[in-house]
Structure 1
Amino acid sequence: MTEIPEGLEARVQWLVDREAIRELTAAYTRCVDEGDFAAWAELFTEDGVYITPERRVPKAELAAFGAEILKDYSICQHLLGQHAITIDGDTARGRIYYAGFHVLRGGDPGRHADIGGWYFHSYRRTPQGWRFAKVGGRLVWASGERFPYLDMIGPKD
């Protein structure tokens, strides 16, 4: 459980930082669901990376990476659940539950590839506000059509 700091000023800053980080994660899913991968990449620090079991995708490649992974889907919806956020000055870590629903192109909403698990985030405070330094995750479940990029999301167990 996250430890709440002592003192009014420290507590207010802690609450503001937590809310800013929650807004950042909401922007992450909104950008992905709307297919705005350039905006998604801008949510990362200049040295930020998206980590898969196979590779580390740097910020400069994120827009193309996101577009490639979701090219087969006409609709995406990513839902976020519990946020466990630990703040340490100008850095923070988070574990966020997610469920992602992906409707295949072709108009049949009954054909979808669904996945869920946890995101593991590292954040850094920048002059533009909180940004992702690292994003990784753990795939816990998959349902429906096979999501073709499972190896890019889940660990190699």
Structure 2
Amino acid sequence: MMPELLEALAARLRILEDREAIRDLIASYGPLADAGEARALAALWTEDGIYEVVGFAQAEGHSAIAALIEGEAHRTLMADGCAHLLGPVAVEVDGDTAIARGHSVVFRHSPAGYAPYRVAANRWTLKRRPEGWRVAHRRNALLDGNETARILLAPGHPAS
């Protein structure tokens, strides 16, 4: 009986550790984006990972993802003053893959102060790698009433 109990506890602990690692990874996105750390941000993804901003851009691989942060649109946002806030996220772990669902808000500074610039739904598909959890696909869609954003937040729907 005792080995079975220990095995069950070890399995539960692993899921909790996986969820915490995934939440830490997602939480690191905002500070890296705001600091302009394009390469470190891109390293959150798998080598062939995809970052999809519905209606705006899709980047595949570390170089393309880093280029989004190094691009004019993001540099202008940083020059104005911005804050990328993500989470909390709901995380579902299934072995070496996981899905995380949640919100992101980008605040932009103006002479009147900070205001929401972009409020979006996010679905993250993650894979366990030898170096830890990495993003295989992040799909982000504005919460502007369109069905795509609602689907991203709903449990049980495919990641893309």
Q: Same fold (TM over 0.5)?
A: yes
Contact (CA 8 Å) 2:53, 2:141: kept in 1 or not?
no
Q: Percent identity?
A: 35
For the 8 Å contact 2:54–2:141, the answer to whether it is kept is: no
In structure 2, what is the equivalent of residue 46 of structure 1? 47
1: CA distance, partners of 2:112 / 2:43: 31
Shift of residue 93 of structure 1? Answer: 0.6
TM-score, normalised by the number of residues in structure 2: 0.75
Q: Do 2:119 and 2:143's aligned partners in 1 also have CA atoms closer than 8 Å?
A: yes
The residue number in structure 1 matching 2:58 is: 56
Change (3 A) 1:98 1:53: closer
Check the 8 A contact 2:27/2:87 in 1, yes or no: no
1:100 to 96, 100, 106: 106
Q: Which has the larger radius of gyration?
A: 2
Gaps of 5+ in 2: 1-6, 151-160
In 1, the alpha carbon distance for the partners of 2:126 and 2:109 equals 30
TM-score, normalization: structure 1?
A: 0.76
1:17-44 deviation digits (Å, cap 9, x = unpaired): 0000000001111110111111100110
Task: Name structure 1 gaps, 5 residues minimum.
Answer: 1-5, 142-153
CA distance in 2, matches of 1:44, 1:117: 19
| Corresponding residue for residue 90 of structure 1 | 96
The aligned amino acid for 1:71 is R
Q: In the alignment, is residue 140 of structure 1 matched against residue 146 of structure 2? A: no
Give the Cα–Cα distance (whole angstroms) in 2 for the partners of residues 111 and 14 of structure 1.
37
What's the counterpart of residue 121 of structure 2?
118
Give the CA RMSD over aligned residues: 2.2
Is 1:79 matched with 2:82?
no
Cα separation, 1, equivalents of 2:39 and 2:102: 23
More helix by share: 2
How many residue pairs were aligned?
A: 135
